[in-house]
Structure 1
Amino acid sequence: MLLRLPTSVSEAQECMTEGAVPIGGATLVWATWQRDGFPDLAMSLRDLPEANAVGREVLGAAVVLNRIDDRAPEVLRRAAATVGTGAVRRTATVGGNLVGSTLRCLLPAALVLDARAVILEPDGVYETDLAEVLAKRHLLLSLRWHAPIASNYHKAAGEAGGPPPLVVAAALHAADDGRTRLRVAVRDDDEVFSGSTVRHADTEDDLRTLRGGSFARLPAAAWELVGRQVTDLLARPTGG
């Protein structure tokens, strides 16, 4: 297998045209390749600057999870810190987790940030929503969002080999009209739910509005955790 390491977007596009298979951190594909055979040509974005950014409003797809530090919002930092073991977090990438993984532990965090996906295609770089990236498995270049006022994340304890642990992510955002918007996302088993509401004067009103939307199908135990996370977040409205 020949591995290409492009250092510019144009080089990466050439690799795609040549049929290079994106390798990411290889934590998800290595066993499959050992079983089924390695591709002739692979490509890693680890040397591409656009894919390695970490900041208040950007995260590159080639960033390994243990590099997500306090430059990123709390919800992303905590989500990344709960993925696998330390050894996994030193090799697994943002793009691999979101696009290559079925668990997508970073997805609830990205949803509450209202993140947009920057994707790389042979004919250009485009921005689109996360739903399209996941459905069509585009090559992710980076995520971009507007920094939240505050955010939080909780992942319940799980058993090895058991169902995916329950995840609740939440974030507060300043709206253009001067109001504040609350976004919440939940991973329950293999389903991901998300919703948002403009902040009311009372937390119970916020929860009631959310419960009336896509969260109506959540089990009672999951909804109870949503309530605790939202209450915690609204009690500390600053800090990102």
Structure 2
Amino acid sequence: MLLRLPTSVSEARECLAEGAVPIGGATLLWAEWQRDGFPALAMSLRGVPQANALGPGTLGAAVVLHRIDDRVPDVLRLAAAGVGTGAVRRTATVGGNLVGSTLRCLLPAALALEARAAVLGPDGVQETDLAEVTAKRPLLLDLRWRDPVASAYIKLPADPGGRPPVTVAVALHADTPGHRRLRVAVRDGYEVVEGAAPCDDNIENALRTLRGTALGDLPETAWDAVDAQVGAVLRAAGDG
């Protein structure tokens, strides 16, 4: 297998045109390749500056999970810290988790942040939403968002080897002065559902509105976690 290491977006685009397979941290691909055979040409984005961005409002696809710190909102930092073991987090990348993984542990956090994705295709760099990223699995370059007022994340306990744990991600956004909005995303099994509600003054009204969204079918154990995380976000925002 020949591994290409482009140092710019234009070079990465050339690699794609040559049929290079993006590998991320290869944590999910190695066993598959050992079973089915290695590709002739692979590509890593670890030399592309845009894919290594880590700071306010942006996170590159080539960033390994253990590097994600308080430069990003709590909801994303905590989600990354809860992925696998320390050894996994030192090699797994943001792009591999969102595009290559079936669990997509970072997806609820990214949805709560209302993140947009920059992806690279035959026509160059385009911005798209996370639904397209998970459905079409393009080459992800980075995530971008507007920092929330406050955010929170929790992963509930689960039996080893059983159903994936429920994870709850919550962010409070300030749309305009005096008008705020809760965005909640929950992974239940392998499915991720989300919803939003105004949160101007009455938290009970906001929670009732959230129950009228796709979140309404969640089990009560998940709703208990939603309630708790919404409360944590409001306290962090100075409302509790």
| TM-score normalised to structure 2 length | 0.97
Following superposition of structure 1 onto structure 2, how do residues 143-162 of structure 1 map, counting pairs within 5 Å?
Answer: 143-162=143-162
**Contact 2:179–2:200 under 8 Å retained in 1:** no
TM-superposed deviation, 1:40:
0.2
TM-superposed deviation, 1:177:
5.9
- Cα separation, 2, equivalents of 1:176 and 1:202: 17
Following superposition of structure 1 onto structure 2, how do residues 82-93 of structure 1 map, counting pairs within 5 Å?
Answer: 82-93=82-93
Amino acid at match of 2:37: G
Amino acid at match of 1:217: D
Give 2:133's aligned residue. Answer: 133
Q: Percent identity?
A: 67
Three-state SS of the structure 1 residue aligned to 2:176 is coil
Residue 121, structure 1, aligned to residue 121, structure 2: yes
Structure 1, unmatched stretches of 5+, are: none
Give 1:51's aligned residue. Answer: 51
Give 1:26's aligned residue. Answer: 26
Amino acid at match of 1:19: G
Three-state SS of the structure 2 residue aligned to 1:175 is strand
| Corresponding pairs, count | 238
Residue 174, structure 1, aligned to residue 162, structure 2: no
Q: Indicate the RMSD between aligned Cα atoms, in angstroms.
A: 1.0
- Cα separation, 2, equivalents of 1:130 and 1:178: 28
**1:59-94: CA deviations, max 9, x gaps?**
000000001011111111000000000000000000
Amino acid at match of 1:176: T
Q: Which runs of 4+ in 1 moved over 2 A?
A: none
TM-superposed deviation, 1:13:
0.5
TM-superposed deviation, 1:189:
1.0
Three-state SS of the structure 1 residue aligned to 2:154 is strand
- Cα separation, 1, equivalents of 2:113 and 2:220: 25
Give 2:231's aligned residue. Answer: 231
Give 1:202's aligned residue. Answer: 202
Three-state SS of the structure 2 residue aligned to 1:172 is strand
Q: Which moved further from structure 2: 83-92 or 152-161?
A: 152-161
TM-superposed deviation, 1:27:
0.2
TM-superposed deviation, 1:200:
3.7
**1:89-146: CA deviations, max 9, x gaps?**
0000000000000000000000000000100113210000000111111110000000
**1:2-40: CA deviations, max 9, x gaps?**
000000111101100000000000000000000100000
TM-superposed deviation, 1:44:
0.3
Amino acid at match of 2:161: G
Give 1:17's aligned residue. Answer: 17
Give 2:184's aligned residue. Answer: 184
- Cα separation, 2, equivalents of 1:51 and 1:236: 31
Following superposition of structure 1 onto structure 2, how do residues 57-96 of structure 1 map, counting pairs within 5 Å?
Answer: 57-96=57-96
- Cα separation, 1, equivalents of 2:26 and 2:158: 24
- Cα separation, 2, equivalents of 1:126 and 1:178: 33
Residue 219, structure 1, aligned to residue 219, structure 2: yes
Residue 6, structure 1, aligned to residue 6, structure 2: yes
- Cα separation, 1, equivalents of 2:60 and 2:94: 7
Amino acid at match of 2:113: L
Structure 2, unmatched stretches of 5+, are: none
Residue 39, structure 1, aligned to residue 39, structure 2: yes
Give 1:102's aligned residue. Answer: 102
